Each structure stands twice: as C-alpha cells, then as structure tokens.
Homo-oligomer: A and B are copies of this chain.
C-alpha cells in the first residue's frame, strides 16, 4: 500500500514483504568490512536478501526460480529455528550480483513466487506438512539440498517429526525415485521437529511420491488436531 511505497522512497534497501513474515531487501554497494565478515566474493558488489520468520522450503524453491530468472548466484542460505513457536525453520537467503538491478530482480521474483510455493504447506495447531516440486532444479536447490541440476526434485516434510518418517517411507515406496537425503531433528535440520525426504528423478515419479506422502501426511497430522489446511492454494 501507500506506506510501503513511502518506505521504498525513504529506505533504498526495501523491496517488499509477503507471506511468512518474508521481507525482500537489497544492498547496492556492500561495505567491504561487512563483506569480509560475511565471507562473500568480491565480485558481488550488490546483494539481494530474503528473510522470513516462517518457511525455508517455500523460500528456497522460490529462490531457485529467482536464480533462473536473474543474473545472480545464491551465496548464502541459513536456516534459523523459528516459525514463531511452530515446529520448523525460518530463512535467510542472500543473492550475490554484480549489478544492483540483478539483485533487485532476484528478490522481486522470489517474493512473487512465494504465494505459489506456500501452496502445499498445510498446518494445524499440532504441526505442519510441506511439499514442493519442480520439474527442473537449479542452483538454489543444488546449494541447499544437493539437488541434481536440471532434473525434477521434490521434498516431503512432516512435523512432528514422527509423521515425517512415515511420509518418507510412503513416498519412497510410491514411485521409483532417487533418494537424495533425509533430515531429522538431530541431523540435517536446525533442531526442528521435522523429518524431511529429498528426492530426484523422473518428473512423473517425483510428483507421484509427493502426492502419496501428502495423502498420508494429511490424515496423520489431522489425527492430532483440526484438518490441516493449505496456507495459500495447492500447486502440486
């Protein structure tokens, strides 16, 4: 609204905000001392920055589209233990760019994608589920999760973590997929109450695995509370 337009005039770093308490920012000319502290390559004069209290998967899948659509590199992905008392992560994603217009573009694309990538996040008072799917993983998913670039890549997340274990077993049995990784509270997450399966493969198989895990996950999480509802609108 008007307040945000005013803010954009006053604070040159501000790009926008959206779902998940996600904020998008840019730094046109990163200070050299801060650059050194952050360990960012000298060739990147400008940064695009995405931060959120709630969500890591939605932001990382959105960042994957952003790097496809801009001349940037994802230089940092850090996942706080957050979700405002929920069971999962928040996120901090930094794009490096030689030109501020590229950094701005990456942040804008990322913010715009989030409405979609929150579509298969389902929550109730006891926990949450998350599913993501892309037909072609790019550099953000590779950096964050080791996704093979150019291939379909999906994730299945269940919280509390016990639900995620059963969902992982269902996913891997539902289709012929390449299991890329498995994360749990003490191994591969930021101490979240989640189990996550990462998988690659044929596009149809990856979707099939996601859909099978989603069906069981919704029933199991529903046993602990209300029917889990999509945060926005399912896309898979």
Is A51 in contact with B172, judged by CB distance below 8 angstroms?
Answer: no
Contact A23–B224 (Cβ < 8 Å): yes
A49 close to B (CB within 8 Å): yes
Segment 10-34 of A: residues with Cβ below 8 Å from B: 10-11, 13-14, 17, 21, 23-25, 27, 30-31, 33-34
- Report how far A27 CA is from B126 CA in the complex, Å: 21
Contact status A79-B25, CB under 8 Å:
no
Instruction: Flag if A173 contacts B31 (CB, 8 Å).
Output: yes
**A185 contacts B219, C-beta separation under 8 Å:** no
Shortest beta-carbon distance from A223 to chain B in Å: 5
B224 and A80 form a contact (CB under 8 A): no
Complex contact A169–B50 (CB within 8 A):
no
Given A31-B169, A168-B34, also A184-B23 (CB < 8 A): no
8 Å CB contact of A4 from B160, B223, B225 = B223
* Bound Cα distance from A51 to B14, whole angstroms: 36
Interface residues on A, range: 35 or more
* Contacts of A174-188 to chain B: CB distance below 8 A: 179, 181-182, 184-187
B166 touches A34 (CB 8 A): no
A157 / chain B contacts, CB cutoff of 8 Å: none
Since A11-B216, A80-B161, A80-B189 are in contact, a sample of 20 more A-B pairs with Cβ atoms closer than 8 Å, ordered by chain A residue number, is A25-B163, A25-B166, A25-B220, A27-B166, A31-B169, A33-B179, A34-B172, A37-B181, A49-B165, A49-B166, A51-B165, A51-B193, A76-B184, A80-B194, A82-B87, A85-B85, A92-B161, A92-B162, A92-B165, A190-B191
The 5 A-B pairs with the shortest beta carbon distances in the complex, nearest first, are A51-B162, A85-B85, A80-B185, A37-B182, A80-B193
* Residue contacts A-B, CB under 8 angstroms, 23 given: A7-B220, A7-B222, A14-B219, A21-B160, A23-B163, A25-B163, A30-B169, A31-B172, A33-B172, A34-B168, A34-B182, A51-B162, A51-B163, A51-B165, A52-B160, A52-B162, A53-B160, A80-B161, A80-B186, A80-B192, A90-B160, A92-B195, A190-B191
